[in-house]
Each structure stands twice: as structure tokens, then as C-alpha cells.
Structure 1
Amino acid sequence: MSVRVSLVAAARSSALLAERFDDDRPLDHAGWREVQFAAHRLVPLGAAELRYCSPTPRSRATGDALGFAPLVQPALRDCDMGRWRGMTLSEVAAQEPAAVGAWLADPRAAPHGGESLLAFISRVGSWLDTRPVREGALVAVAEPAVVRAALVYALNAPPSTYWNVDVRPLSTVTITGLPGRWSLSLESVPH
């Protein structure tokens, strides 16, 4: 008996270079177009018994646009970036270069006054481990950072691995298993 968790990264709300920490902006025009273009491959995930999303406007809008009618899960919120909320990494690095360096180097550091990377990964992992344990599937639409954190947790990888995982808008990944015993599941695309 195992649970199948498909994670879908929310569509974009801004140009990738203009992404901001803890960004609560809704989907932009490009994001809506991307959802429409990708819907044919993502809509089947909505057959999952359980459908969730993070509380951000773009995650909710992505899930709704795909017809998932997802239940909002506060535990799937983006990392709390404290006083850096709403800023880009470039803006923060220009103002607080030492703090950014500490944050990138130490997963326990929270120089912004919010949540450390380790606490964020643990929170997302706790959400994974508390899903109903029964044979079945669930889908969750979340911010790319949440998908990255879930992968690091599921693979029991060092927290520094988080920085080496690239999650693009509307990308998907599936993990299978049971609480505390997750595996990455790569699937072939039918021809």
C-alpha cells in the first residue's frame, strides 16, 4: 500500500527574473496562457482522490483553471521570508549581502527574521507524512519552492540540495511511498 503524490508547480505570476520572495500576485496573462497550453497533460491529474493547493493566489488559480477544485493547505505555503517578503533576491543581495550569504550557506539561518530553509523543508515534509495512508493518489498545486522542498524531504537529501533543484512553472513530479519512506517516480510519456 502506498500513496502517490503528484506535485504541480503553479503557473507564473511574473517574469522569472522578477520573481519576489513570498509573492502573492495572481496569475499574469502569460501564466493563464501557459495553463491553457499545458492543460491537456495536467487535467488527468485531477482524477486523484485528494486535490490540494497552497494558499497563494496563483496556486489556487492554477488548480481551479485545471478543474482540480483544490482544498487550500496552509502547510503548503511558501517559505516565510520575514522582512525580505516582496523583494527580489537581487534587491536583498544589494542591501544585505552578508545576510544573503549566510542564508544560502546555512540551512538553519533565518537572517530575514522568517523561516529557515531547514524549518521550511521540515514543514513541507510533515505535510507529506500526514497524508492519509491508503492506496491512492493525490495532487497538489504549489509554489515551485514548495515542490523543491518536498523533493529534498522525500529523497532524504541534504538541505543544500534545495539550491540545485530547478522547478519551472507547471512542471510536475510524482513521489510515491508511505510517511517517512518516499521515492521519486519518473514516468515515460506514451507515444
Structure 2
Amino acid sequence: MTARLILLCHAATPATRAARFPADELVEAGAAASLHALAARLPQLDAAVCGRERRCGETAAGLGLDARPVAALDDWMLGGWRGRDPGEIVAGEPEGFAAWRSDPDAAPHGGESLAMLLDRVRAWLDAGPPQRRCLAVTHPAVMRAAIVHVLGAPALSFWRVDAGPLASADLRHDGRRWVLRPGGLDGL
């Protein structure tokens, strides 16, 4: 039996609009209309899960879902860079920022390296689908990590996957492996 996992990035926040690394913040006040329209297009679900940050829980609630928080879906832990503007970091820590973008094991911010993020998401996916039809409200970094894993792509391919607020990915599991189906929720 094929299981379906839809990964959905949380709604926009002040940090995503300002292109800052996020802190634990709420979604923008104007997100309700987008969430309501998206909720009307959701397929039938057996379960919903989400990252533990407020923006994930608020997105799930805005979709009318009672989502169970799951630590593996938490945002990329960026330590001292949390809440900061990347341009500010490049200006103050150019070598650290360059290492972070080019070395999957680098964590100059004191948080998770890219390799650690990829391992966390891989372990969650490899545990198998949470339910036959599940929606996971998470973060762009987690979705990107999941896509890299499902495609068996090299770690640095992470930087070539784009995902923003309310982006989605449709993953299917046939009992042996995950595959990526084009479209996500956009295909409904």
C-alpha cells in the first residue's frame, strides 16, 4: 500500500519577508486568507504533524488541522545566527558563512551543520510514513533536506532546492522507498 506524505512549509513570517534567519515567531497577520484557501484544497488525511515552533503550529491550526508536534520537523538549528540578517553575518563572519555554504559539516553558528540536518530528516523519513495519508507542516530547510534525501542527491544539492512560505512537496512511500511526485499541493 502506498503512503503519501505532503510536506508543507509554514506560512510567511516577518523573518521570511525580511529574508532573515527566523526565530520562534508567529505567522504574518494576513496569512489567514491564504491558509483558508489552501485548507479547502487539502486531500483527505489520516494524520497531521508539525514542527514544534509557533509558526508551524499556527499554520496547521489555520488549515483546521490538529497537528501533533514532532521534533524531527523542527527548523534548522542555526545557533547564534537565529533572528539575524544573512548580509550582516556575511559582513561580520565572511569565512564562517562561506564555510557553512560549502562544507556540509561546518556549523560556525554553533547549531546544526547541514550534515546534521540532513541526518535528522533522513532518520525521520527512513522510519517510514507516520500514517497512510499525512500532512507535515514544517520549514523550508526541512523540506529541502527531505527532497535531497529522497532523490539520493549529494548534500550540497540542498542549496539548489528552493522552498518558501506554503511551498509543498508530495512524497510517496511504496513500502521500500520514498519517491517525489511533482506538484505537491499545487497539483491539486
**TM-score, normalized by length of structure 1?**
0.88
1:135-186 CA-to-partner distances (Å, cap 9, x unmatched) read x211100011111111111111111111111112112111112577211112
Distance of 1:11 and 1:19 partners within structure 2? 14
Shift of 1:37: 3.7
1:182 partner amino acid: W
Q: Which residue of 1 aligns with 2:144?
A: 148
Distance of 1:81 and 1:184 partners within structure 2? 27
Q: Which residue of 1 aligns with 2:162?
A: 166
Q: Which residue of the other structure, out of 87, 91, 116, is the alignment partner of 1:90?
A: 87
Q: How many residues align?
A: 186
Query: C-alpha root-mean-square deviation of aligned residues, in Å?
Result: 2.1
Distance of 1:96 and 1:180 partners within structure 2? 43
Q: Which residue of the other structure, out of 125, 131, 143, is the alignment partner of 2:122?
A: 125
Asked if structure 1 preserves the Cα contact closer than 8 Å seen for 2:129 and 2:173, the reply is no
Q: Which residue of 1 aligns with 2:8?
A: 8
Asked if structure 2 preserves the Cα contact closer than 8 Å seen for 1:22 and 1:80, the reply is no
1:47-96 CA-to-partner distances (Å, cap 9, x unmatched) read 32121000111110110111111000011111111111121211211110
Asked if structure 2 preserves the Cα contact closer than 8 Å seen for 1:148 and 1:167, the reply is yes
Contiguous gaps of at least 5 residues in structure 1: none
Q: Which residue of 1 aligns with 2:39?
A: 39
1:56 partner amino acid: E
SS in 2 for 1:29: coil
1:37-76 equivalent positions in 2, closer than 5 A: 37-41=37-41, 44-45=42-43, 47-76=44-73
Q: Structure 1 residues 20, 189: CA separation in 2 closer, same or farther (over 3 Å shift)?
A: closer
SS in 1 for 2:87: helix
Contiguous gaps of at least 5 residues in structure 2: none
Shift of 1:34: 2.6
User: Comparing 27-36 with 114-123, which one deviates more in the overlay?
Assistant: 27-36
User: Comparing 51-60 with 80-89, which one deviates more in the overlay?
Assistant: 80-89
User: Comparing 124-133 with 141-150, which one deviates more in the overlay?
Assistant: 124-133
1:99 aligns with 2:96: yes
1:120 partner amino acid: L
Asked if structure 1 preserves the Cα contact closer than 8 Å seen for 2:2 and 2:175, the reply is no
